[in-house]
Every structure is written in C-alpha cells, then in structure tokens.
Amino acid sequence: MSTVHSAGGTGTVAEQAIAGAVRPRRWGSWYVAEHRFRVMRSYAQTVVVTAIGNPLIYLYAMGVGLATLVDGNLGPEAVDGVSYLAFVAPALLASAAISVASEEFSYPVMLGFKWNPVFYGMNASPIQPGQIINGIVISVTVRMFVTLGIYFGFMLLFGAVPSPIGFLAAFAALLTGLGLGALLMGYTATIIDDNGQLVMVMRFIILPMTLFSGTFFPLSVLPIYLQWIGWISPLWHGTELARVFAYGASEPIWLTVVHVLYLSALLFTGWTWARRVTVRRLNK
C-alpha cells in the first residue's frame, strides 16, 4: 500500500498558507489557461482543420470565384479602389476571429458553470473567480492568434495584401474577436438555465452579422436605414480597421480611432461584466 508523502512547508500553518498562495495569486490566470489548452488538445484536430481549411476555402471561393465575376464586370480596381479579393480578404479575416470567439467564449463558459462544472473545482483551489475569466481570455487569445496567423499567411499566398503594414490587419481581427467574444462571455456567464439562449444568439446575432457589416460589399451600398446595424456591429468596425491596414482603405483618421476605441471598449466591458458575474455566481 502506498503512502502519501508530505509536501508541506515550514513555519506556522498561517505562514505556510501565505507562502502557498504567492504563485497562484500571481500566475493563477495562466494555470486556468493551461487547463483550457489541455482541453483544446482533445479537439486539436478540429482546431487545425478549421484554421487551415477555412482560409483555403473562403479565399479560393472569393478570390478565384466571386472575384472573377466582380472584377470582370467592374475592372481590376473593382471595389474601394482595389481588387475584390483584396477588399474581401480583411473582412474574412475579421469573420474568422468572430467564428473562433463565438465558439470559445460561449460553450466553455456554459460548461464551466453548468454542464461540466470545473469552475467550482477551480474556485475551491487558490484560483480566484476573476482569474478563471482571465484564463479563458488568455487561452482564446492564443488560439485566435494562431488561427489568424495561418489565415494571414494564406492571404499573402493569394496575393491579397497590398500594404506593407498588412500584418496589422491580423491584430485588428484579433481585437474584433476579443471585443465581441468578451461581450458574449459576459452574457454566457449570466445564463443560469440553458433554454437555448446561446443558439439564438448564434443564429440571430452572430451569423447575420456578416450581412450587415460591410463584409462582402461596402456598408454604403445598404439603404441608410440599415446602415446603423453596421455602425454598432463589432465586425464592421473590425473589418474597416483591417482594411485600413491591409490595403490602406481611405477613411478619416478619427474613424480609425473610433474603430479601435469601440472594440477596446467592448473588450473591457465584456471582460469586467464576466468577472463580476463569475465572482457573484461562485460565492454562494
């Protein structure tokens, strides 16, 4: 029969406790992220296949398919002064970020509170509720960064990035995903009983967003009474920002600043919201 060896430190029990919390207080968020990465490993195949397949399919379909039609009819500087592929690629990049965000900021939170309630286990350890949320943000940022890096690589291969500072478009997309995702995370944390709320959000907010966010055609093409949807859509702000970097889309500098501020504000709001709800929910 085995025995369990003592790993306790020296000093009084209170001193041991204080020493024991030093690392979790500092690194707790990263430990939660480590947990997420370990779980992601179990669906690593999906992560890799979507990260590679997505850009390949969309860029090919748009760049070779739809672009041929648009450029053929409107000329090589078809939309916004560039080829249709160059116009649509930054938007697809931002959409890819939204797609990762809508997956990773929703169900893992729902799981952690309810279906596979690991948050309660974390909360019983030195990890604090806010760190649980931070850890999710860290892990999704990493996954999104890798996905967007691959996407951007394909954009270069397809010759869809005219600007030398085009790589900044990937960061614009990252901010887009995090901004929308943080809000989604805050909302998901408030769901006590699952009555299909997340499915509704996906179906009626996230999916239609691409239609009203200037993804496939400029927002100005829409009638004015529909354009406001774009103005509040994180995807529109992210897409426009990515276009500024990818091909130097012309817009007033103040508008570029607004894109950054708007997306940052969403990120901050959602993150704070999720932390507050989690603190409240875990302290019963």
The footprint of another protein (CB under 8 A) covers: 2-8, 12-14, 16-18, 20-25, 27-28, 31-32, 34-35, 38-39, 42, 111, 116-118, 120-128, 282-284
Of the candidates 17, 154, 175, which has an alpha carbon nearest to the alpha carbon of residue 101? 175
CA 231 to CA 22: how far, in whole Å? 45
CA 209 to CA 231: how far, in whole Å? 11
- Decide if 176 contacts 266 (C-beta within 8 A): no
Of the candidates 133, 93, 138, which has an alpha carbon nearest to the alpha carbon of residue 241? 93
Nearer to another protein, 122 or 263 (CB): 122
Cβ of residue 282: shortest distance to another protein, in angstroms? 7
CA 168 to CA 175: how far, in whole Å? 11
Nearer to another protein, 38 or 203 (CB): 38
Nearer to another protein, 14 or 224 (CB): 14
Of the candidates 102, 66, 229, 259, which has an alpha carbon nearest to the alpha carbon of residue 168? 259
Cβ of residue 275: shortest distance to another protein, in angstroms? 15
CA 198 to CA 200: how far, in whole Å? 5
Nearer to another protein, 22 or 156 (CB): 22
Quick count: other Cβ atoms within 10 Å of Cβ 79?
Answer: 19
Nearer to another protein, 35 or 243 (CB): 35
CA 116 to CA 229: how far, in whole Å? 36
Cβ of residue 277: shortest distance to another protein, in angstroms? 16
Nearer to another protein, 20 or 72 (CB): 20
Cβ of residue 208: shortest distance to another protein, in angstroms? 31
Cβ of residue 1: shortest distance to another protein, in angstroms? 8
Q: Tell me, what DSSP letter sits at residue 110?
A: H
Cβ of residue 29: shortest distance to another protein, in angstroms? 11
